[in-house]
């Protein structure tokens, strides 16, 4: 054997008895079979064997199993981003002529996916007001196949009555898919959020996560997941996943596996910091409204309490129980000019200007809600709006940064 060939056919075998906290990173396109019979018989659909890197490796299968553990789900799929996971659910389950319903405050790229790509394929959509279950009930028609849910809504963080929305969908026999990135499997249980024991199914049909956020936690990975307890849906999703080639690489899967054991600690620590920042923001005269589900005056606070804080009643401006992701929205007084809100953002130093959330560094994004929302409470659209994502910095440093940036509102520009 020539050295070039010997290097490639080196007699490496994976170690059998090497136990350590993290699993090995397995990367492959090709996976070898001992003979043709094995090649023909191995079934990539049931996870009893490996066939090709795109269909799974020991590393990606382990991550899928752990995500099932986190959520109490039976099946999981990994995709290259959270948005890819949202797209995959639509592509796997819908056909031309079907209709989907999307909450008005949904993650905006899901709305543009529906408005552009899905519309091209003859799949229609309607928006519903997630804060008014009747709006959902009235929107469900004969062509409605799938209802998207988000708790709370992206950007403005209004918390819907999720059990009420689910009951409506179940009574119409319509599939439900929740973008569960905010809850992250920590704040509430997507597959077990209906209290009625007599129900066959006590939660959503499908849960989607942007693993990019809390599960990865480092602000350095893009990945998404789809989980379900239903065998029939899992099969349809997996087939579509295979046909579209939405697999993920081993290195990225390993990064999520490394962060996943600390997700509960990070979620709760960032939550505590975020609530301190929210309480401080409530005291600031330039800020007309603080949006965060644990803030008593925030839309849907009672629904959040029922689902995520076990119905505890607490007479405080910011509820201290339960769990919430570390996002908050600031609506500034309408008397301030948009340029002052921009100036506020530009003055921030500890907070960086950037998209995404749940990573180590606190982030700020200004939004023009008027261009994003059709059914919002009109008062929400008055004044500039900035969403903050709270990272791992000390809360005092963050409020100090906000305090110096608020000087933008005391100056004319
Ligand atoms: C609620 C929500 N869902 C989905 C996504 C998409 O995730 P990704 O950035 O991995 O595509 C995001 C990203 O910001 C998000 O905030």
- Distance in angstroms (rounded) separating the CA atoms of residues 164 and 302: 13
Question: Under 8 Å CB-to-CB from 365, ≥6 apart: which residues?
Answer: 353, 354, 355, 386, 387
Specify whether the CB–CB gap between 102 and 133 falls below 8 A: no
Q: How far is the CA of 88 from the centre of ligand 1 (A)?
A: 14
Q: Are residues 340 and 238 in the same domain?
A: no
- The residue whose CB lies within 8 Å of the most ligand 1 atoms, and thus the one to mutate among 78, 79, 83, 329, is 83
CB burial of 53-62 (b: ≥16 within 10 Å; e: otherwise) equals bbbbbbbbbb
- DSSP label at 23? -
- Which one of 197, 227, 262 terminates a domain? 262
- Give 311's pLDDT tier (boundaries 50, 70, 90): low
The answer to whether the CB of 153 is under 6 A from ligand 1 is no
DSSP string, 108-159: HHHHHIIIIIIHHTT-EEEEE-TT-HHHHHHH--TTEEEEEEESS-TTT-PP
Q: Where are the alpha helices (DSSP H) in 372-412?
A: 395-405
Size of the chain, expressed as the number of residues it contains: 413
Q: Are residues 250 and 267 in the same domain?
A: no
Q: How far is the CA of 354 from the centre of ligand 1 (A)?
A: 13
Residue nearest to atom 8 of ligand 1 (CA): 82
Ligand 1 atom nearest 181 alpha carbon: 1
- DSSP label at 63? H
Residue 36, pLDDT > 60, answer: yes
The answer to whether the CB of 252 is under 6 A from ligand 1 is no
Per the structure, the count of domains in the chain is 2
Specify whether the CB–CB gap between 300 and 160 falls below 8 A: yes
The answer to whether the CB of 210 is under 6 A from ligand 1 is yes
Angle formed by the axes of helices 82-93 and 231-244, nearest 10°: 110
Specify whether the CB–CB gap between 275 and 327 falls below 8 A: no
- DSSP label at 397? H
- The confidence score (pLDDT) of residue 201 equals 87
- The confidence score (pLDDT) of residue 411 equals 66
Phi, psi (5° rounding) for residue 133? -55, -30
pLDDT in tens, 333-385: 999 999 999 999 999 999 999 999 999 999 999 999 999 999 998 999 999 99
Q: What is the pTM of this model?
A: 0.96
Instruction: Please name which of 178, 121, 122 lies closest in space to residue 146, comparing C-alpha atoms.
Output: 178
Q: Are residues 183 and 299 in the same domain?
A: no
Q: Are residues 245 and 295 in the same domain?
A: no
- Which one of 221, 239, 262 terminates a domain? 262
Q: How far apart are the first and last CA of the chain?
A: 76
pLDDT in tens, 149-207: 999 999 999 999 999 999 999 999 999 999 999 999 999 999 999 987 777 789 999 99
Token representation of residue 350: 């500890």
The answer to whether the CB of 256 is under 6 A from ligand 1 is no
Q: Are residues 234 and 334 in the same domain?
A: no
Q: Are residues 251 and 133 in the same domain?
A: yes
The SS3 of residue 308 is: helix
Q: Are residues 331 and 393 in the same domain?
A: yes
What's the rounded mean pLDDT across residues 257-263? 95
The answer to whether the CB of 224 is under 6 A from ligand 1 is yes
Here the CATH number for the domain that contains residue 344 is 3.90.1150.10
Ligand 1 atom nearest 84 alpha carbon: 11
The answer to whether the CB of 246 is under 6 A from ligand 1 is no
Range of the domain at 104: 3-262
The SS3 of residue 225 is: strand
């Amino acid at each position: 054997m020539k050295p070039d060939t010997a290097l490639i056919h080196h007699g490496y075998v994976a170690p059998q008895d090497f136990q350590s906290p993290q699993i090995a990173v397995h990367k492959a396109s090709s996976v070898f079979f001992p003979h043709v019979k094995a090649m023909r018989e191995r079934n990539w659909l049931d996870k009893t064997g490996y066939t090709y890197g795109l269909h799974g490796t020991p590393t990606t299968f382990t991550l899928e199993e752990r995500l099932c553990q986190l959520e109490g789900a039976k099946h999981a799929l990994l995709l290259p981003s959270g948005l890819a996971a949202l797209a995959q659910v639509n592509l796997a389950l819908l056909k031309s002529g079907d209709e989907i319903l999307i909450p008005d405050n949904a993650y905006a790229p899901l709305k543009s996916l529906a408005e552009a790509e899905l519309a091209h394929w003859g799949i229609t959509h309607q928006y519903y007001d997630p804060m008014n279950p009747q709006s959902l009930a009235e929107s469900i028609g004969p062509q409605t196949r799938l209802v998207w849910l988000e708790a709370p809504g992206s950007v403005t963080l209004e918390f819907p009555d999720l059990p009420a929305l689910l009951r409506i969908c179940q009574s119409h026999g319509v599939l439900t898919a929740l973008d569960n990135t905010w809850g992250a499997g920590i704040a509430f249980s997507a597959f077990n959020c209906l209290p009625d024991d007599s129900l066959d199914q006590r939660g959503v049909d499908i849960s989607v996560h942007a693993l990019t956020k809390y599960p990865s936690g480092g602000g350095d990975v893009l990945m998404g997941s789809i989980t379900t307890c239903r065998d029939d849906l899992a099969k349809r999703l997996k087939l579509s996943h295979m046909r579209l080639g939405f697999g993920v690489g081993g290195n990225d899967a390993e990064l999520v596996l490394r962060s996943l054991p600390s997700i509960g600690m990070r979620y709760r620590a960032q939550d505590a910091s975020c609530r301190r920042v929210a309480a401080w923001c409530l005291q600031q005269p330039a800020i007309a409204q603080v949006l965060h589900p644990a803030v008593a005056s925030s839309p849907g606070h009672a629904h959040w309490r029922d689902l995520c804080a076990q119905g505890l009643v607490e007479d405080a401006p910011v509820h201290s129980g339960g769990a919430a992701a570390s996002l908050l929205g600031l609506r500034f007084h309408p008397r301030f000019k948009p340029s002052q809100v921009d100036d506020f953002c530009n003055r921030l130093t500890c907070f960086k200007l950037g998209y995404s959330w749940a990573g180590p560094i606190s982030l700020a994004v200004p939004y023009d809600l008027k261009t994003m929302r059709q059914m919002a409470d009109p008062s929400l659209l008055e004044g500039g709006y900035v969403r903050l994502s709270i990272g791992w910095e000390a809360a005092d440093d963050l409020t100090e940064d906000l305090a110096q940036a608020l000087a933008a509102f005391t100056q004319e520009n």
